[in-house]
Amino acid sequence: MASKAVVVSSTLRVRPSSSVPSIGVRSADWESRANSDGCFLSLVMARRVPACGTTRHHRSLFMFLAESYLHTLDPYVIQLTDGGFGIRWYGLAYVAGFLIAWLLIKWLANTGRSVVPPQKVADLMIYAIIGVLVGGRLGYAAFYDPSLFTDAARDMDGRVVPPWWALLAINQGGMASHGGMIGVLIAMLIFMIRNKLVPIIHAADLIAFVAPPGLFLGRMANFINGELWGHPVPDQENPAWWSVKYPEEIYLGETNLEQLRGVVPGDQTFLPTVVDSLRAGDPVVMEVVVPQLTAYYPSQIFQALADGPILFLILIAAWWAPKKGGVLTGTFLIAYGILRILTEIFRQPDEGVSLLMGLSRGQFLSVIMILAGILFVLFASKSKGPKLGGLGCPPTTTQPSTS
């Protein structure tokens, strides 16, 4: 999944600044409310709510149900330094995804639904992790940012370093799901050959089956990071409650913030201070800024649901009865490709990546995945190898038999 934040294209539709209420007109009202048990008016919709006895959680719930969700999530679980070092939700998503995958493959091996011995599952996961990380990073560079292969970069001290150094800077984001799939497929083939396990393609079936939980968590981490924005929703005057607004949109220069010059401190740090004030729920800043922000489709959540539970249910149904090696891999490629094409409709194209035949880069790669998946299913169905899997069959401790 390409994880760098996307700069919003020229299709942004921002409400005219004349629609923003003046702070001065309501300053007395704000003062009176601020002195009444610290209760404030919910400014996301500028609608009146009970002032006394209204807790912060009540106001947050009202704001969530009343209009678009204002994205204020912190990408860090724990931020250790001001320089950006810390534990991120994105990293934890990978760790949790790999852990779930290990548990599922271990269960398949222990119940006789896999030719991989239980004692080899940990080794398989090491190959898988390397394949995902290397393939995901190289795929991002190849599909979305080829300059990472050629352009010189700078390290944290500003020194010029070779291009490959930028490839190693995974802390700066940039992973492609299509690249990760290619990488893990190659890694699984190497694992099966080195361990003399057949059919070789069965390892790909295992990874395909356990991938959806990790894909789901990765997309949710994209949402927490506030990256990979969707397209603006059609109705900007009355956006749906499930749409999302991003404080970082003010960096695009489409909002009128002059009313805050005397309210928000700072000169060089004016815009970052405004963003921090929005994240902190500052009512005065929210009254001015939030009505001007664009409401977007939560494309990350759409893709999380498609890549996670929906895809997982499809694979469970496909593997409920034993199948020839490679059939499940083909099913995964077809289903993921179709779901990715559909959900990409709601997502903005990646920054600096041109469309191909009217398709985004993700959609174009998904078309290739679908074609490859069809070939996988056709060839696997005609193979003479054993049938594997069978989630609906009773567990066994013996190796799968050849049909």
Tens digits of per-residue pLDDT, 300-336?
Answer: 999 999 999 999 999 999 999 999 999 999 999 999 9
Calpha distance 93→91 (Å, rounded): 5
Q: What is the mean pLDDT of residues 17-24?
A: 34
Predicted confidence at residue 209, as pLDDT, reads: 98
Identify the top-confidence range among 49-53, 329-333, 392-396.
Answer: 329-333
Predicted confidence at residue 118, as pLDDT, reads: 95
Predicted TM-score (pTM) of the model is: 0.78
CA dist list (Å): 160 to 62, 86, 141, 267: 50, 25, 19, 30
Tens digits of per-residue pLDDT, 168-192?
Answer: 776 666 889 999 999 999 999 999 9
Predicted confidence at residue 147, as pLDDT, reads: 82
Identify the top-confidence range among 5-9, 236-240, 330-334.
Answer: 330-334
Whether 45 has a pLDDT exceeding 80, the answer reads no
Predicted confidence at residue 265, as pLDDT, reads: 59
Predicted confidence at residue 270, as pLDDT, reads: 81
Indicate the domain borders of the chain: 86-226+298-388
Whether 258 has a pLDDT exceeding 80, the answer reads no
pLDDT above 90 covers what percent of the chain?
A: 54
Which one has a higher pLDDT value, 195 or 357? 195
Residue with tokens 């009254």: 287
**Among 169-183, 217-231, 378-392, whose mean pLDDT is lowest?**
169-183
Whether 214 has a pLDDT exceeding 90, the answer reads yes
Q: What is the mean pLDDT of residues 262-276?
A: 72
At residue 268 the predicted structure's pLDDT band, cuts being 50, 70 and 90, is low
Predicted confidence at residue 82, as pLDDT, reads: 77
Alpha helix locations (H) across 144-256?
147-150, 163-168, 177-194, 202-225
Calpha distance 160→37 (Å, rounded): 55
Residue with tokens 């790669």: 365
Q: What is the mean pLDDT of residues 191-211?
A: 95
Tens digits of per-residue pLDDT, 67-76?
Answer: 799 999 999 9
Calpha distance 259→292 (Å, rounded): 13
Yes or no: say if 139 and 185 are a contact pair by the CB < 8 Å rule: no
Calpha distance 48→374 (Å, rounded): 57
Q: Please provide the average confidence, as pLDDT, over all residues in the chain.
A: 80
Predicted confidence at residue 34, as pLDDT, reads: 34
At residue 226 the predicted structure's pLDDT band, cuts being 50, 70 and 90, is very high
Whether 379 has a pLDDT exceeding 60, the answer reads yes
Alpha helix locations (H) across 226-326?
270-279, 283-289, 299-305, 311-318
